[in-house]
A and B are shown apart, each in its own frame.
Chain A
Amino acid sequence: MKILLIGHGMVGHKFLEELAQLRQPGTEVTVLCEEPRAAYDRVHLSEFFAGKSADDLSLVAPGFFEDSGFTLRLNTRAVAIDRRARTVTTAGGEVLPYDKLVIATGSVPFVPPVQGNDRADCFVYRTIEDLEAMTAAGARSRSGVVVGGGLLGLECAKALRDLGLETHVVEFAPRLMAVQVDDDGGRILRGKIEELGVRVHTGRNTLEITDGARARHRMVFADGSHLEADMIVFSAGIRPQDILARQNALAVGARGGIAVDDQCRSSDPDIYAIGECAAWRDQLFGLVAPGYDMARVAARHITGQTEVAFGGADMSTKLKLMGVDVASIGDAQGRTPDSRSFRYMDECKRIYKKIVVSADGKQLLGAVLVGNADEYGTLLQMALNRIALPADPEFLILPASDGKAKPGLGVDALPDSAQICSCNNVSKGELCAAVAGGATTLGALKACTKAGATCGGCVPLVTQVMKAEMARLGMAVNNHLCEHFPYSRQELFHLIKVGGIKSFGELIARHGKGLGCDICKPTAASIFASCWNEFVLKQELASLQDSNDYFLGNIQKDGTYSVVPRMPGGEVTPDGLIAVGQVAKKYGLYTKVTGGARVDMFGARLEQLPAIWEELIAAGFESGHAYGKSLRTVKSCVGSTWCRYGVGDSVGLAVELENRYKGLRAPHKIKFGVSGCTRECAEAQGKDVGVIATEKGWNLYVCGNGGMKPRHAELLASDLDKETLVRLIDRFLMFYVRTADRLQRTSTWRDNLEGGLDYLKNVVVQDSLGLAAELEAQMAHVVATYQCEWKTAVTSPEVRKRFRTFVNDGRPDARIVFVEERGQIRPARAEERPAAMADSTTEMAV
């Protein structure tokens, strides 16, 4: 069977993914893609302005087309369908046959038919090319206007403002987001948006666009007023791209769009239409989730599953526009006859909440939330599942007072069929099944069901379902550190900090039981270090340290240790290199340049460590903390100092950051990267903290990881000056240090963070928990009390004495033997050991 797909947008690609999963033998699939690149995430298009590249936005998994055998033809536009011959003609004149045709051509932006709308520097907001053109125009403009105050218009206004332009929004209706919110909600939203420096003009009907006097364009309005700006972006709604249907006598909906039935078939049963170009029962869906549903239905139906059906979609939405939460559920305007509403409005904090309930007060019909949308998940489930409202529904939206908890939804009330994640169509029943199958952390649940993995809006609800199901199955929802402490690491941190506890003896006497173990002792030691930062080998602390920390080196398989001097930013002088070489040679150590851009030396015996370090310290080196759960390295590229493309001094910054955070103990190791431009040679986006230079400062990325489970870091804030950058890193690191579980890297910590990236941004950037000052102060303390642990160790006879192989004999451990490989030593393998031991004994005897 030959399947031909026209349009490789978000929905088109979802269709291909579904098809690939169904693995129907004998299908031959060809995709015509008008754009110069394969499908990308249009929903997150605006992040292009925040530094995401077209590659970052791509929806196509590496190897997808190779593995599926599907053919993708870029820059190929379909211009005609011959339904009788069952062929499609491309703009290049090629004629392609099909057995089943799927149209997923999306929408086209609506440009109001006013004189002058085709002038230069007038744009629409839909594709990467549009954004590239806007960026170019932005560079030569001082001001910009967005025509349209809906969802997209406001997102676009943010983009213009971020380009540094004086920004205006012109809206025809009397309020912003006229479809989703009511008058009061619109007013609060407007206040919020204006607070952010965007000028809003509502009730304006544009008549024509002409030459401006002080800017390139002048928009003339029906009321006689006018507005001048250098660039204009039209974002006044979308129209389904249904031209192929109209030309070929396929039925179209009342408001346009290719008319489809419940199986997504058009009036020609061999032609399907899905996504924004399709009209189902005369309804158009301008959101991605219903399109994904259609893609699932069409793929299944084409491959022979006849019982599938598209059943419409809920158009509730929750968004963050310029940092302002806006959500709209169901009958937001209260149009249902006899419906009643409850409203809460706070003009100081600019928060507006409204719920619409049925005449009998028993059911939730709709809601509007502006300024704070915390209740979205709960309210949406109540509306969708027709859950009976509590007696006083107003408490659902009133701020909690006197510590009284809000009436929760009680996830138990939800039926198994309740859709919890609408982006990926995951039901409560599927989540429960995954929990029963062993997915008992948020990260695991996300990985196996995809729930919460797209927009993240349902994550709090997913967590509630997970916890409730675990409790129901009798699984201990137990995050106790170990048998000695009935607390999580985060709780222990709090107890230590608030209680001013500085020793393990006191900690276990007050909050635990028994003697402790290899889990709680190093955890306590790490927390003590983060809080008080005393010398880790101090008598009371020494016995808590893991062997690596106890001997300030990484233990190797044969019981020898590695020696890793710090080389901040990977920078090292020729004299430094020579000193390292001399030490390695003198003590017969194996040397290797590591991925962290420094030199590791291996094969040092316990009793050699102090002498080796004494020499390194004399040559100006410090401990590299390669042994600690602490900051390891800050990798950098050479940056603007040498590189002809560099825009920022990445080495300078890397050295500064490494020196600031060296020695900081954390739940796990921490790696940084600093790149001098967006070419990203330091691979900063694969690090816990990544910094990339921009024309205007530094972009800060967090929670990336290479290693076992690679994870791209996410943008936390952009275009920062150095002072702000450092402040945000201080807060981020300390927040991680306080709240992560033991041995949890920032990437897993982030995956398990209930509020996701938005929550992290709120805490770190907006200081929503009011913690920032405390976090900064704590970091300042750690920075101020830094000491090179090796320097303190070698100068203390008491500590130095511990570095001996035998307590009663000065000889080295004769069992440690090396053989030569590629001109250096390596530990002898078990079978090589007897011979090697004999050799080394004779050597010693000589």
Chain B
Amino acid sequence: MTTAPSQHWTAVCSLTDILPGTGVCALVADRHIAIFRLAGDELYAIDNIDPRSGASVLSRGLVGNLGDQLVVASPLYKNHFDLRTGACLETPEHSVRSYPVRLSGDSVMVASG
């Protein structure tokens, strides 16, 4: 394989498993990854674990936009995470990782490395 080691793609579910405007959590090589589907078929993936509480819940937050940023609000303390970068808007030290995610046919693929 010539792809970089961080680009190991895993198929986690089909697109219809994610209701538009919501997220799900996937278990990929022991990582909890939140995958969001915005209106249309836009997909984003970040860590599912909320650094402030240590609970695995970010996929259950509400998604939307604040200015130019696409965000999810943690369901526990309502702090916002940038869906593209995982940056926490209110407390940068609570930022999380983001992951590449794409659609292959009907299959949602995420790259965890």
A residues with CB within 8 A of B: 483-484, 505, 514-518, 520-522, 539, 542-544, 546-548, 550-551, 555, 557-559, 802, 805-809, 811, 813, 815-816, 830, 833
Distance between B113 CB and nearest chain A CB, rounded to angstroms: 18
CB distance from B112 to the nearest CB of A (A): 12
What is the CA–CA distance of A547 and B72 in the complex, to the nearest angstrom? 12
Picked from A517, A542, A548, A830, the residue with its CB within 8 Å of the CB of B54 is A830
Which B residues touch A808, using CB under 8 A?
12-13, 26-28
Chain B residues within an 8 Å CB radius of A807: 12-13, 17-18, 24-26, 35
Q: Nearest Cβ in chain B — how far from A103, in angstroms?
A: 59
Does B70 count as interface, using CB distance less than 8 angstroms? yes
B22 partner residues in chain A, CB cutoff 8 A: 542-543, 550
| Residue on B nearest A543 in the bound complex, by CB | B21
Residues of B at the A interface (CB closer than 8 Å) are 12-13, 17-22, 24-28, 32, 35, 38-39, 49, 53-57, 60-67, 70-71, 73, 75-76, 78, 80
Chain A to chain B: the 8 pairs with minimum beta-carbon distance, closest first: A543-B21, A547-B75, A517-B64, A559-B55, A518-B73, A807-B24, A518-B62, A809-B27
B76 touches A514 (CB 8 A): no
Selected A-B contacts with CB under 8 Å, 21 pairs: A514-B65, A515-B38, A515-B63, A516-B64, A518-B62, A518-B73, A543-B22, A546-B75, A547-B57, A559-B57, A805-B56, A806-B27, A806-B32, A807-B12, A807-B35, A808-B26, A809-B26, A813-B56, A815-B32, A815-B54, A815-B55
With A515-B39, A518-B73, A557-B76 as known contacts, state yes or no: A547 contacts B17, CB within 8 Å: no
Contact at B19–A815, with CB atoms within 8 Å?
A: no
Bound CA–CA A514/B66 (angstroms): 9
Q: Shortest distance in angstroms between A660's beta carbon and chain B's nearest beta carbon?
A: 30
Which residues on A sit within 8 Å (CB–CB) of B26? Answer: 806-809
A811 and B27 form a contact (CB under 8 A):
yes
In the complex, which of the residues A551, A559, A830 contacts B56, with contact meaning CB atoms closer than 8 Å? A559
When chains A and B are docked, how far (Å) is the Cα of A807 from the Cα of B55?
A: 17
In the assembled complex, the CB of B14 is this many whole angstroms from the nearest CB of chain A, namely 9
Contacts of A550 in B (CB 8 A): 22, 60
Q: How far is the CA of A520 from the CA of B56 in the complex (A)?
A: 25
Q: What is the CB-to-nearest-CB distance from A603 to chain B, in angstroms, rounded to a whole number?
A: 13
Q: Which of A520, A521, A555, A802 sits near B75, CB closer than 8 Å?
A: A555
Contact of B19 among A516, A543, A548 (CB under 8 A): A543
Residue of B nearest to A810 (CB): B27
Residue of B nearest to A811 (CB): B27
**B residues in contact with A521, CB < 8 Å:** 62, 64
Give CA–CA (A520, B66) in the complex, Å.
Answer: 12
- Closest-by-CB residue of A relative to B75 is A547
| Chain A residues, CB < 8 A from B60 | 547, 550-551, 555
A522 to B38, CA, bound (A): 17
Q: Give min CB distance, B74 to chain A, whole Å.
A: 9
B73: chain A residues within 8 A (beta carbon): 517-518
A815 to B26 CA separation, bound complex (whole angstroms) = 14
Cα A298 to Cα B80 in complex, Å, equals: 57
- A557 & B55 in contact (Cβ 8 Å cutoff): yes
- Verify A558–B19 contact, CB threshold 8 A: no
How many angstroms between the C-alpha atoms of A518 and B64 in the bound complex? 7
Taking CB atoms, residues of chain A closer than 8 Å to B20 are: 543
Which residues of chain A come closer than 8 Å to B61, judged between CB atoms? 518, 547
Select A555's contact among B65, B70, B76, beta carbons within 8 Å: B76
Q: Which residue of B lies closest to A522 (CB)?
A: B62
Q: Which residues of A contact B13 (CB under 8 A)?
A: 807-808
Distance A813 CA – B62 CA, assembled complex (angstroms): 21
Minimum CB–CB distance for B110 against chain A, Å: 10
- How far, in angstroms, from A558 to B60 measured CA to CA in the complex? 13
A522, A559, A805, A816: residue with the most chain B Cβ atoms closer than 10 Å: A559
Chain A residues, CB < 8 A from B62: 517-518, 521-522, 544, 546-547
